[in-house]
A and B are shown apart, each in its own frame.
Chain A
């Protein structure tokens, strides 16, 4: 979840950039996750679209996110090559179990079981 306080001395674009980069770094936002469009996020947060676009641009410069043409902006894989591959595999697994309608708890149990075996 992103929270923006317009009364804060920290500029809104900086609050947005910091929170998104932190969530990307910690894995809360998994690699391959599609971010909302600039316009949608600006409306949600009551900000000007330019403010959100500036935060996205800086995140892209820092390789936290990547823009794939008209498909939108996506979270980039972080860390070394092995970590990047693991994050991409995790994203693919999450997409698959969601499509199959498998509950979160069961999906996590399968992963734990596979890792323990």
Chain B
């Protein structure tokens, strides 16, 4: 198990580094691809700091991944009782968390380096987290966290009769981890949108909104995935425990219910991508630009001046 854990961790770090090297080699077209994904046209002379922000996530991803995977691997090595499947899900969860945290942190650092010009533009209306992230995505994160709490509650309820005490402890730690990530997300999201945008033109403001939306969308996705992968890791551990599989009630409500919940959540994720979550901020903050994107109409950004 010791060697398997190390090999899995090294494989995930290698995948991330290779992906980043490939992405780095394509960095000249990074802004175009980012603009396409978020429905933003790339103007001539795009603000260099915005380009930096887009490219920074390529550097941040492997660093974040390496840190999170190494931490997870060390924790797993200190607790050799987990089976290979549970080890894999834990490491994969750490990989996803590191990917998001690394790229998001890099974007935020790059954003702070913006210069100051004589002309500044700002939106004369207050914005909220829901302008950048679809309420559906936030609901997905909250649902996954609640699922983790329900499993813990069921585990505590059945602990005396069936479940070994250490399993209740593990599910309690996982539920607490889910709640902690959700609270951290809510705090970070509010802090992020209350920060100044420092834009010299409406177009820069739209790109800044795009970067913020990207960071928050990734973070909310991770907040949903952390309890989800924790549950899967927990399930694989649970169903391999002696005496559990023979108890039908326990298997259904603590073993299969989370798996069914997982399937539901993944279905919701698929639906979420279908409703163009990435262009959510355009529809809320730049409705005229969103109409152009929906109609696939090209043109200048003069109409963006009328954005929310």
- Whether A104 lies near B126 (C-beta < 8 A) is no
Within the complex, the shortest CB–CB distance from A30 to chain B, in Å, comes to 9
Chain A, 9-45, contact with B by CB distance < 8 Å: what is the 0/1 string?
Answer: 0000000000110010000010001111101111111
B-facing mask of A36-65, CB < 8 A → 1, else 0? 110111111111000000000000000000
Count A-B pairs with CB separation below 8 Å.
79
Contacts A44-B198, A104-B287, A105-B291; A34 near B120 (Cβ below 8 A)? no
Q: Which residues of B contact A19 (CB under 8 A)?
A: 124
Which of A2, A7, A43, A46 is close to B124, meaning CB atoms less than 8 Å apart? A2
B195 at interface by CB-CB < 8 Å: yes
Q: How far is the CA of A98 from the CA of B116 in the complex (A)?
A: 34
B residues with a Cβ closer than 8 A to A are 116, 118-127, 194-199, 202, 205, 283-284, 287, 291, 305-307
Docked-complex contact A20 and B196, CB < 8 angstroms: no
Residue contact A4 to B120, C-beta cutoff 8 Å: yes
Taken together as a complex, chains A and B put the C-alpha atoms of A6 and B196 apart, in Å, by: 17
Complex Cα–Cα for A106 and B241 (A): 56
A1 CB contacts on chain B under 8 angstroms:
121-124, 202, 205, 305-307
Residue of B nearest to A104 (CB): B287
Q: Which of B124, B196, B291 contacts A104 (CB 8 A)?
A: B291
CB distance from A8 to the nearest CB of B (A): 8
Are A7 and B198 also in contact (CB < 8 A) when A1-B305, A35-B125, A105-B291 are? no
Query: Contact between B120 and A35 (Cβ–Cβ < 8 Å)?
Result: no
Instruction: Assess whether A72 is in contact with B123, with CB atoms less than 8 Å apart.
Output: no
Q: Are A45 and B120 in contact (CB under 8 A)?
A: yes
Known pairs A6-B120, A41-B124, A44-B197; list 5 more (Cβ under 8 Å). Answer: A1-B307, A4-B122, A44-B122, A44-B198, A45-B120
Q: Is A3 an interface residue (CB 8 A)?
A: yes
In the A-B complex, the 8 residue pairs with the smallest Cβ-Cβ separation, listed nearest first, are A43-B196, A44-B122, A34-B126, A7-B118, A45-B120, A104-B287, A44-B196, A3-B121
Q: Distance (Å) between the CB of B302 and the closest chain A CB?
A: 12
CB atoms of B194 and A5 under 8 A apart = no
21 pairs, CB–CB < 8 Å, chain A vs chain B: A1-B124, A2-B124, A4-B122, A5-B118, A6-B118, A19-B124, A29-B125, A34-B126, A36-B125, A37-B194, A40-B195, A43-B197, A44-B121, A44-B122, A44-B123, A44-B197, A44-B198, A98-B284, A103-B283, A104-B287, A104-B291
